[in-house]
Structure 1
Amino acid sequence: MKDFRNKVAAITGAGSGMGRSLAVLLASRGCHVALSDINEAGLAETVKLLDGTGIKVTAQKLDVADKAAVFAWAEQVARDHGKINLIFNNAGVALGSAIDGGSYEDLEWIMNINFWGVVHGTKAFLPYLKDAGEGHVINTSSVFGLFAVPSQSAYNASKFAVRGFTEALRQELEMEGVNVSATSVHPGGIKTNIARAARMDQSVTKLGLSTDSTEKFEKLFTTTADKAAEIIIRGVEKNQRRVLVGTDAKVLDLMVRLLPSTYQKLVSLSSKRMK
Structure 2
Amino acid sequence: MNSPTTADHKIVLITGASSGIGAATARRLAADGHHVVLGARRVDRLEALVAELRAAGGRAEHRELDVTDLDSVRAFVDAAHERHGRIDVLVNNAGVMPLSRIDALRVDDWNLMIDVNLRGTLHGIAAVLPYLRGQGGGHVVNVASVSAYRVDPTAAVYCATKFAVRALSEGLRQESRDIRVTVVSPGYTESELADQGGDPEVRAAVRAASQELAIPASAVADAIGYAIAQPANVDVNELVVRPTAQG
Matched residues in 2 for 1:66 and 1:247: separation?
Answer: 33
Q: Higher Cα Rg: structure 1 or 2?
A: 1
| Pairing 1:103-252 to 2, within 5 Å after superposition | 103-173=106-176, 177-178=177-178, 180-195=179-194, 197-201=195-199, 210-238=202-230, 239-248=235-244
2:65 counterpart of 1:73: no
- Please say if residues 16 and 46 of structure 1, whose CA atoms lie closer than 8 Å, have aligned partners that are also in contact: no
- Please say if residues 102 and 201 of structure 1, whose CA atoms lie closer than 8 Å, have aligned partners that are also in contact: no
- Please say if residues 15 and 45 of structure 1, whose CA atoms lie closer than 8 Å, have aligned partners that are also in contact: no
Matched residues in 1 for 2:203 and 2:243: separation?
Answer: 27
Unaligned residue ranges in structure 2 (runs of 5+): none
- Residue 184 of structure 1: how far off its partner (Å): 0.9
- Please say if residues 86 and 131 of structure 2, whose CA atoms lie closer than 8 Å, have aligned partners that are also in contact: yes
Change in Cα spacing, 1:46 to 1:116, as seen in structure 2 (3 Å) is same
2:1 counterpart of 1:19: no
2:43 counterpart of 1:43: no
Q: What residue is the counterpart of 2:92 in the other structure? A: 89
- Residue 187 of structure 1: how far off its partner (Å): 0.4
- Please say if residues 15 and 44 of structure 1, whose CA atoms lie closer than 8 Å, have aligned partners that are also in contact: no
Once the two structures are superposed, what CA deviation does each residue of 1:195-216 show, in whole Å capped at 9, x if it has no partner?
A: 1x221236xxxxxx65522222
Q: What residue is the counterpart of 1:268 in the other structure? A: none
Once the two structures are superposed, what CA deviation does each residue of 1:190-237 show, in whole Å capped at 9, x if it has no partner?
A: 111211x221236xxxxxx65522222212333111121112221333
Unaligned residue ranges in structure 1 (runs of 5+): 203-208, 253-275
- Please say if residues 232 and 245 of structure 1, whose CA atoms lie closer than 8 Å, have aligned partners that are also in contact: no
2:8 counterpart of 1:5: yes
Structure 1 window deviating more from structure 2 (106-115 vs 132-141): it is 132-141
Amino acid aligned to 1:232: I
- Please say if residues 189 and 221 of structure 1, whose CA atoms lie closer than 8 Å, have aligned partners that are also in contact: yes
Q: What residue is the counterpart of 1:63 in the other structure? A: 66
Once the two structures are superposed, what CA deviation does each residue of 1:125-151 show, in whole Å capped at 9, x if it has no partner?
A: 112123333311000110011100100
Deviation beyond 6 Å, 4+ runs, structure 1: none
Matched residues in 2 for 1:56 and 1:211: separation?
Answer: 36
Amino acid aligned to 2:180: S
TM-score by length of 2: 0.89
Count how many residue pairs are aligned between Structure 1 and Structure 2. 239
- Please say if residues 27 and 55 of structure 1, whose CA atoms lie closer than 8 Å, have aligned partners that are also in contact: yes
Change in Cα spacing, 1:24 to 1:211, as seen in structure 2 (3 Å) is closer
- Please say if residues 17 and 40 of structure 2, whose CA atoms lie closer than 8 Å, have aligned partners that are also in contact: yes
